[in-house]
Amino acid sequence: MQPLSKIVVASQHYPPDTSTTATIVAEIACHLADEHEVVVLSGWPGALPASQTCPGKPRVVAIKNRIPGKAALVRRAVSELLFASRTFVALTRQLRRGDVVLTVTAPFMLPYAVTAAARLRGARSALIMHDLFPDVLVMAGLLKPRSFGTWAMRAVNGLMFRALNAVITIGRDAERPLLSYPGMTRNKIRFIPNWATLVPAPRPITPDNPFRKAIAARFIVGLSGNLGFTHDPEIVFEAARLLEDETDVHFLLSGWGIGFERLKQLQAAANLANVSFVGRVEDSELEALLASADVWIIPYRKDVAGVSVPSRFYNLLAVGRPVVLVSEPEAEAALTVVESGLGWVVPPGRADQLADAIRAASRADNGAMAGRAVKAAAKFDRTVAMNAYAGLIGELLRSPDLSEQR
């Protein structure tokens, strides 16, 4: 009797890692394990939480991995190449014809290894596209648009997209750059947005909030999460500098990544009185942190459209806070902000316009906007997303050609 096909999930980030990618991948893997055999190839060491180890949950196989700091670019690239190579070897042992392998775009070499192993073993492959490379590296200034490295990555992308059976996008703006590749077709693309991990409900602004108590200003501007290569820390700091004399406005910054290191450097030199830092908070404190600010900033660099979607966006809406988004108007988050009236969209590089948007937010009655934010967050629902993933995997298990199922 032919054994039932299984699902293999390959991700460098997985619990006990607490990153957004790890949380999203774990949610998907656990949901799929309700109906299928699921094996996770994880690059994160350590004991799994109880929610990942009970009967019927995915079987996790650890792949040897070392993750240097993001500033150590050469060592990080070598480590990511080694992880992708080890994952390829593990997949050639795990996969059989008819299986489905699901992966993500971080590290950027992983999808190439996964797609190649699936092709070799006669399995079907799907990619969750959180970021589009090399576009992210060009956007961050790490690659030139017309460099050999950029050309080579796009050439390999063409082969990968031709071989992939499905690409899951988390933003509507990703379809256009994807379809620029000759190996990509519309029937392979599925739009499944991420979801809020907090329950959508208005959270009142209270003076006894633990993150707000020490700040005397009436209006708090928040910035939270991982600031990576796609984000612009300088525009936030310059806006704070422009607003330094407006004592009723204060910036509360909490997060990690190279962008936050840059913010700390700028503050060490300028010592602005209207800027405070809070260390990375635990998941148990996230709701209180997000409820502490009156408005939140998401600061992207130029050319973000189709390249990256801020996963933190949905939780900001869930607590009923408006956002000031720095990005092009055609980017997914900007479309959502404008369509539902959830805040302000500022063009990249314009700290003066960011400061003006914050002034406008501080003078506005944001009650109606908070209600719209909560209503919008409810549309980004975990159950809806999980059912969409289960439906896609079911199609791939039945047939490698999605066009036969549409």
Query: CA nearest 133: which of 149, 118, 148?
Result: 149
The low-confidence residues of the chain, meaning pLDDT below 70, are 1-3, 68-73, 400-406
Query: What does the CA dihedral 33, 34, 36, 41 come to, rounded to 10 degrees?
Result: 0
Task: Give the 3-state secondary structure of residue 3.
Answer: coil
Residue ranges and CATH numbers for the domains of the chain are 7-195+381-404 (3.40.50.2000), 219-379 (3.40.50.2000)
Q: Is the dihedral of CA 253, 310, 285, 379 positive or negative?
A: positive
The total of other beta-carbon atoms located within 10 Å of residue 71's CB is: 10
The predicted structure's pLDDT at residue 302: 87
The predicted structure's pLDDT at residue 305: 79
CB within 8 Å of 222: residues ≥ 6 apart: 251, 252, 253, 254, 289, 290, 292, 293, 294, 295, 296, 297, 321
CB within 8 Å of 151: residues ≥ 6 apart: none
Query: CA nearest 57: which of 76, 35, 83?
Result: 35
pTM of the model: 0.86
